Structure 1
């Protein structure tokens, strides 16, 4: 009897962990599909290891425009164009647009996607419009450009004015966002929603982990080298200490990423970059990679778990059932 109770408790705990925090409001998740596009976001240039949905950040950690990635089930289509928004969704009736940029696409440089288009609304960091609150909520929304056509302009509200997402979509001929991920930012004080209640946030929000040291890349040997009792090859990359991603997870890819990393250029200094990942262990940025166990859980159509991270709780479920 005790064994059955333990088995049941393990199953329930695993299922609860799969649901995770959902910061993107329900009315904005209508276009999210479990088999559709996935988005990851990073404030440290490691979008392939983007932060978990609901991650709580300090204000200073989110001051710059982030980088983006599509999850493992998104696929890569060089002709598909994307538009990304960041919206303050704390107050249900007083949402604010903080960022809008269009025409991200694959540039045949590995799995990178770049845009030469200027931001239609430059990134406004959390707190830029004077908003306050230790549970301030922001949602990143991914749209697919209709007809795979470039978007040169969007009808947007004036900076700091209320933002009606549905009206925005209708005005610009966009379908519902196909993916999204949310974060919580500690701005201090209390959110003022003009008499309305602010959206509540789940308990036990994930937080960024402290920096970790990544292992140095092993040296490669040349066929023409003469034998020696001393080390004759120098590692191509020394140990580096990456800053934490939103989930604080550093990378440790050793398969598909090693070749790409050695030749891939650094992140563009001109434009934002979306990095597509066909597998959770796929190529990341030139200075980072990630093991399956370290992948974050936001890379899903909207906010589900990526393949690698999802397998851990699924194996736990299977173990509980066959225990």
Structure 2
């Protein structure tokens, strides 16, 4: 994982009032909840007293209550009350505090800061310049038994499209890969397919290719967009579970008509079309070994793998910058 980044980990609707949610993200067992002000709290899902899972407990006021011995913790993990000590106790209970993680919400997404809290940046990663309130969206999720890096690379891979998706988005047998052109600016990698039917011609180098109207963008650390047209876009955030599992949250954005109701219907059915395509990818990606990708590996990459090579280089640079 790349440290000191905001990771999109869950849709906001997943954490409901008066109900705890236990999830695993970024190799961390987490308990999420909302207090009476609807503020999010995220703590390690383990009580400091006897190790019980806090997510199995209940919400009590602005705190979560451990299901084992009733210790109460606020949204910042501060221990507020220990029933066994009594209401009149003056004993310092700060040593029972649980580790908390900084979380924020935007665009119906919960983000977790993975790194040192004092280094947290203000802006949450999202394609703000591409979707706004004029769009409606419908969302589905799917669990992949693959590292999030492999899942991301698949969405940047133009070489596989006519092979894996030969009967959907890859129809036309355009197996010859020109370029593709790859741009990287402001933490965003952008590319587009320039595939052609192979009639014996020599593939064009990336320098002779363009970024088309339909293009792909990836924003580090885990946000991807397929810019299908001005009125239709698909956004995926790849929530890392652990070293071998990822949850894909797939959103179909639409503003094709002037009616939000009709657009919602289109988006609803559009997400299922996305699922068909995504499942074609999943069948192959979960077989890749090793589970995680790396800049230096035994893989023999093609010139058409330019977007993947760029993704790996930037990932490597971000990981190394955190170590320095």
The structure with the larger Rg is: 2
Q: TM-score if structure 1 supplies the norm length?
A: 0.23
Give the structure with the larger strand fraction.
Answer: 2
Higher relative contact order (CA 8 A, sep 6+): 1
Q: TM-score if structure 2 supplies the norm length?
A: 0.23
